[in-house]
Amino acid sequence: MERTLIILKPDAVQRRLIGRVIQRFEDKGLAIVGMKLMHISRELAERHYAPHKGKPFYPGLIDYITRGPVVVMVLAGERCIEIARALMGKTFGYEAAPGTIRGDFSAGRTFNLVHGSDSPESAAAEIALYFKPADLLEYTPAGSEWVFARNDV
Ligand code: IDP
Ligand code: MG
C-alpha cells in the first residue's frame, strides 16, 4: 500500500485547523498509520527542505516550518500521494482551487497549511526523517473495502 508524509504546518496548528484538515484526508478514505505533534528543529527542517536550498524563499521557509508545533502524519492508501496532493491544492493559496485545503484556508505563498510528499521517492525519504518503521501501524480501517475495490482496473 502506498504511503505519504503529510505535515500540518505551524499556521494550521496556530489557526486551530488541525481537526478540519485531518477530516479532509479521513473523508477521502485514506488511513492514518502514523501521527505525532512535534516541533521541527532547524537541522531537521534543513534536511527536509534540502531540495529547495538556494532558492529565494528558502530562509523564510525554514523560519516558517520551525516557528511552532506541527502535526506530522503518514497516510496510506492506493495512489495516496496523488490523492493527498489533489486534496491540498496548488502551492500558493491564492491559486489553489476552492474545495482544496489550501484553496479554502490559505491566501499567500509561504503560509499554505500543509505539506505532502510529491513522489514515491520523496515519500520514502521524508517518512524516514520523522518516523521509525516500528512507529507505523499496519491496519485496515473499517469500511476500506467500500473505498478501494479489490480489482480496480
Ligand atoms: P509544495 O509544498 O506544494 O510541494 P514546493 O514547491 O515544494 O511546494 O515548496 C515547498 C514550500 O515552500 C511550499 O509549500 C511553500 O510553503 C514554500 N514556497 C514555495 N514556493 C514559494 C515562493 O515562491 N515564495 C514563498 N514560499 C514558497
Ligand atoms: Mg514540495
For residue 9, give the ligand 1 atom closest to its CA: 16
- pLDDT (tens digit, 0 to 9) for every residue of the chain, 153 residues total? 899 999 999 999 999 999 999 999 999 999 999 999 999 999 999 999 999 999 999 999 999 999 999 999 999 999 999 999 999 999 999 999 999 999 999 999 999 999 999 999 999 999 999 999 999 999 999 999 999 999 888
- Domain carrying residue 104: 2-38+68-137
- Name the residue of 40, 55, 91 whose CB sits within 8 Å of the most ligand 1 atoms, as the mutation to test its pocket: 91
Is residue 53 in some structural domain? no
How far is 15 from 135, CA to CA, in rounded Å?
Answer: 27
Query: Is 24 part of a structural domain of the chain?
Result: yes
Is 59 part of a structural domain of the chain? no
Q: Is residue 146 part of a domain?
A: no
Question: Which numbered atom of ligand 1 lies nearest the CA of 49?
Answer: 10
In this prediction, residue 95 carries a pLDDT of 98
Q: Are 65 and 9 in contact (CB under 8 A)?
A: yes
Interatomic CA distance for residues 131 and 54, integer angstroms: 27
Question: Domain total for the chain?
Answer: 1
* Domain CATH for 86: 3.30.70.141
Residue 98 is predicted with a pLDDT of: 98
What's the confidence (pLDDT) of residue 107? 97
Q: What is the pTM of this model?
A: 0.97
* pLDDT tens readout for residues 46-73: 999 999 999 999 999 999 999 999 999 9
Contact residues for 107 (Cβ-Cβ < 8 A; gap 6+):
93, 94
Beta bridge partners, 5, equal: 74
Distance CA 14, CA 61 (A): 16
Q: Tell me how far apart the alpha carbons of residues 128 and 125 are, in angstroms, rounded to a whole number.
A: 5
The answer as to whether 144 is a domain residue is no
pLDDT score, position 152:
86
